[in-house]
Chains A and B, each alone.
Chain A
């Protein structure tokens, strides 16, 4: 591993804030950097740096406080601080337990907060986002709820809308950058000229698109993302004005976007190109995302009504493509993530709140224990004339000091957890989670708020004591009163933990059900990659076809290869857009939309490579792959297509279908019915699909290689074959099908993992709370146990006695918590797949886990009670 070139980012940032960025501050930073370098820059040097910065921050914080409060005798802060420090040092065990609890809870909550922060505060790179809107198209069949819109529909809305301004559209794509005869695949977005204006984005170099840049026939201009500009042009301003070749077209670089644009998957975009829409393109090719601004003074509802009306009018004007389709205006925030995104964010925020509440309750408990043991000290102080306010302040300062230490230690906890999250998923969004000023303010707020809760509650019970009884009785009575409070705290803790555990257990089970569904594909022996035969080296469809065929034949000849299939897109993993379909004899209701299906074109062995079963007929023959493509007329439909639209398997055979393909339509005859394949989102069941022979104008080929026998590593073989057969074509994402699926699932894994982590931490905290209360009461009752034993109680009776208390607390917490958990379950119903919010397995496992944990927490004090020696207990 190479040594880092700079010390840990976070403490360095904190230190910069603290010492300032003037010469003096920078010289102190430099001193620490020099010492860090002298320590070898390794892991231990990193830890040293964390430690030093924490200690130094404390010093500067203290010095600032002292300076601020100097000369105000009412607040003897320094005296309070000193006394608090002494009190903390007097019970090091409890103090470190409190600090550790707070560090873990605040650290974990901060991780949850980074997710919410990214979604809520950073969010889409859109200015004044409440005025920015998007649209979704949906059809009467309900198979599209968040559908995109077509180019001509977009142009019509742009022209007719009175309520929207800066109406713009965009779509993502892969494009081949041609450089020195080599081709490289770029992630590009085609955007209409107003897109950046609609979002409120500005150029950091040069300019963005101007009106007219997106006219058909306008000279090509390109805007680079900041990341790509740095990668490909080393961030040189001279990049502006340079020309790049993408496909067969030349584009002039006119500007560079700001880094603000690099949010979520937008961070993957290399180059932004103008979107040119021909007015006569197909109305049912719905592939554009829509962004616009509300005109000044226009309410969202007004615009929504107008757009819905416009959509209905388009449906009347263009029934062939738009009948049954509606257009719905939505706030731009809906574009973030999928349908369940905001539910997940809410769930995270809820977890953060619950976790902090549980930890605060726990710390309250610990503080109560300590306060109980200090009642004499406090009574003495009160007797000597300390006012009540002073005593409360003393406890508060103590709490603040503890939570300050906890908050400081929570930062390494959070940053470690974020490192783990980043390692678990390569999704952009998880790499973008970080701790900066937002998170530090969050931690600081918790640092101040937590002690208010956990110190004031005990402070009340302590300062209400009658001084005389206290001094006389030595504190025994006071302890029992505070026990009732502690019992309630534990019930609350268990209840909150159960809420959290129920929610995460439902989410976990739901995700497991989602991924347990059969895919419909035999993925184990499959290796996949993508080849983009660019139109410079392969100017004609015939050239592409020849090169693809040649590559395929050579791949087939590799040892260990059983089959090689080329497809237009990979099922489940690929971007699969919906196409409208009609069939001879298919009745479509007067107001209904045409059925939509996914059309996948493939070589003839697609079905057998993917492991699909034929339910009727056969795939077309291999020779028809090489026929004149214009004559293509054979297709295989999936079971879902056959049943939903064609009247069943038998009725589907031999039917003629009309599929819309871009501006044209394609007529095919059904020659077979195959088994179903799941949809990419895995939650909407199998897709209605039509398989057709590989199309004439396909340039991007998804290649699926089926391995024979033991899983051989074909990577090297595949690379050398492609290098020989199609030297200028880069191999994209070469991997096994299974690993690619795992990758696609990794974001779900991370989210569920984090949720489960929250819940487990909550349970652990609740369990320690339970343990604390039960063992403390048990120890207070030693004398009573001795008496009972002397009077003939058995060890078993005593165990039952102690265990009963634990079970009582558990039962109270469970009852309240399960009700709350099911309520949360109902709120997140949209996320749950195939199970009800009151799923017995999920709830059962919560109860089981809680019971086991209670057993563990109660076992030690119960056994200790059973081993009480009556003679000794009575003598004490």
Chain B
């Protein structure tokens, strides 16, 4: 049985968590993806992906108390685990290898 690779959206979420640094709360991560990729992200897809990544042990979260703006509900700060970093690197290696030598076809001006 081969190892399952990260899905594309999973990669986006993981990368956005890394880019958000210590501000990696769900809203900020989602904003990162939308801003950087220029596409809107469905909340349902986003939250279920976060659940899946957490279940695979690729991200971890810790809850922090939220203020009045959030009706005093907690907010989760996400962190990519070492396993998550390893998966990202593996995905990147695989993709870069596949992309290699295709500049003639896919190169952008």
Q: State whether A27 touches B76 (Cβ < 8 A).
A: yes
Q: State whether B48 touches A60 (Cβ < 8 A).
A: yes
Q: State whether A33 touches B70 (Cβ < 8 A).
A: yes
Cα(A30)–Cα(B63), bound, Å = 12
Task: Kindly state whether residue B22 has any CB partner on chain A within 8 Å.
Answer: no
Q: State whether B44 touches A33 (Cβ < 8 A).
A: no
Q: Hey, which chain B residues are within 8 Å of A60, CB to CB?
A: 44, 48
Do A33 and B69 form a contact, CB below 8 Å, given A27-B63, A27-B75, A59-B42? yes
Task: Kindly state whether residue A52 has any CB partner on chain B within 8 Å.
Answer: yes
Q: State whether B70 touches A23 (Cβ < 8 A).
A: no
Task: Kindly state whether residue B45 has any CB partner on chain A within 8 Å.
Answer: yes
Task: Kindly state whether residue B66 has any CB partner on chain A within 8 Å.
Answer: yes
Min C-beta distance of A524 to chain B, whole Å: 51
What count of chain B residues pass the 8 Å CB interface test? 18
Task: Kindly state whether residue B15 has any CB partner on chain A within 8 Å.
Answer: no
Task: Kindly state whether residue A715 has any CB partner on chain B within 8 Å.
Answer: no
Chain B 56-77 near chain A by CB (<8 Å), digits 1 or 0: 0000000100100111011110
Task: Kindly state whether residue A29 has any CB partner on chain B within 8 Å.
Answer: yes
Min C-beta distance of A68 to chain B, whole Å: 15
User: Which of these, A33, A56, A58, A59, contacts B73 with CB under 8 Å?
Assistant: A33
Q: State whether B71 touches A23 (Cβ < 8 A).
A: no
Min C-beta distance of B64 to chain A, whole Å: 9
Tell me the total A-B contact number using a CB cutoff of 8 A: 61
Q: State whether B75 touches A31 (Cβ < 8 A).
A: yes
Q: Which of B22-42 contact A (CB under 8 A)?
A: 26-27, 42
Q: State whether B76 touches A29 (Cβ < 8 A).
A: no
Task: Kindly state whether residue A35 has any CB partner on chain B within 8 Å.
Answer: yes
User: Which of these, A23, A27, A52, A63, contacts B43 with CB under 8 Å?
Assistant: A52
User: Which of these, B27, B42, B48, B63, contacts A23 with CB under 8 Å?
Assistant: B63
Task: Kindly state whether residue B47 has any CB partner on chain A within 8 Å.
Answer: yes
Min C-beta distance of A62 to chain B, whole Å: 8
Q: Which of A386-413 contact B (CB under 8 A)?
A: none
Min C-beta distance of B57 to chain A, whole Å: 16
Cα(A104)–Cα(B63), bound, Å = 42
Q: State whether A56 touches B70 (Cβ < 8 A).
A: no
Q: State whether A28 touches B48 (Cβ < 8 A).
A: no
* Main DSSP-derived SS at the A contact region: helix
Q: State whether B44 touches A34 (Cβ < 8 A).
A: no
Chain A 20-32 near chain B by CB (<8 Å), digits 1 or 0: 0001101111111
Q: State whether B70 touches A63 (Cβ < 8 A).
A: no
Do A31 and B26 form a contact, CB below 8 Å, given A6-B71, A23-B74, A37-B69? yes
Q: Hey, which chain B residues are within 8 Å of A52, CB to CB?
A: 43
Which of A30, A31, A63 has the most CB atoms of chain B within a 10 A radius of its CB?
A30
Cα(A148)–Cα(B3), bound, Å = 80
Task: Kindly state whether residue A55 has any CB partner on chain B within 8 Å.
Answer: yes
Q: Hey, which chain A residues are within 8 Å of B26, CB to CB?
A: 27-28, 31
Q: State whether B71 touches A55 (Cβ < 8 A).
A: no
Do A55 and B42 form a contact, CB below 8 Å, given A27-B76, A31-B26, A31-B70? yes
Cα(A27)–Cα(B70), bound, Å = 9
Q: Hey, which chain B residues are within 8 Å of A55, CB to CB?
A: 42-44
Residue of B nearest to A29 (CB): B73
Residue of B nearest to A35 (CB): B27
Q: Hey, which chain A residues are within 8 Å of B66, CB to CB?
A: 27, 30, 34
Cα(A26)–Cα(B51), bound, Å = 14
User: Which of these, A6, A28, A33, A58, contacts B47 with CB under 8 Å?
Assistant: A28
User: Which of these, B43, B47, B73, contacts A26 with CB under 8 Å?
Assistant: B73
Residue of B nearest to A26 (CB): B73
Residue of A nearest to B26 (CB): A31
Q: Hey, which chain B residues are within 8 Å of A63, CB to CB?
A: 44, 48
Min C-beta distance of A761 to chain B, whole Å: 33
Q: State whether B69 touches A58 (Cβ < 8 A).
A: no
Q: State whether A27 touches B74 (Cβ < 8 A).
A: yes
Q: Hey, which chain A residues are within 8 Å of B73, CB to CB?
A: 26-27, 29-30, 33
Q: Which of A39-64 contact B (CB under 8 A)?
A: 52, 55-56, 58-60, 63
Q: Hey, which chain B residues are within 8 Å of A38, CB to CB?
A: 69
Which of B47, B48, B75, B76 has the most CB atoms of chain A within a 10 A radius of its CB?
B47
Which of B26, B43, B45, B63 has the most CB atoms of chain A within a 10 A radius of its CB?
B43
Q: Hey, which chain A residues are within 8 Å of B71, CB to CB?
A: 6, 29-30, 33
Per CB-CB distance, the 4 closest pairs between chain A and chain B, nearest first, are A59-B44, A30-B73, A30-B70, A33-B71
30 contacts between A and B (CB under 8 A): A23-B76, A24-B51, A26-B73, A27-B26, A27-B63, A27-B73, A27-B74, A27-B76, A28-B47, A30-B70, A30-B71, A30-B74, A30-B75, A31-B70, A33-B70, A34-B66, A34-B70, A35-B27, A37-B69, A52-B43, A55-B43, A55-B44, A56-B42, A56-B43, A56-B44, A58-B44, A59-B42, A60-B44, A63-B44, A63-B48
Given A27-B66, A27-B76, A37-B69, 19 other A-B residues pairs in contact with their CB atoms under 8 A: A6-B71, A26-B74, A27-B75, A28-B26, A29-B73, A30-B66, A30-B71, A30-B73, A30-B74, A31-B27, A31-B70, A34-B27, A34-B70, A37-B70, A55-B42, A56-B42, A59-B42, A59-B44, A60-B44
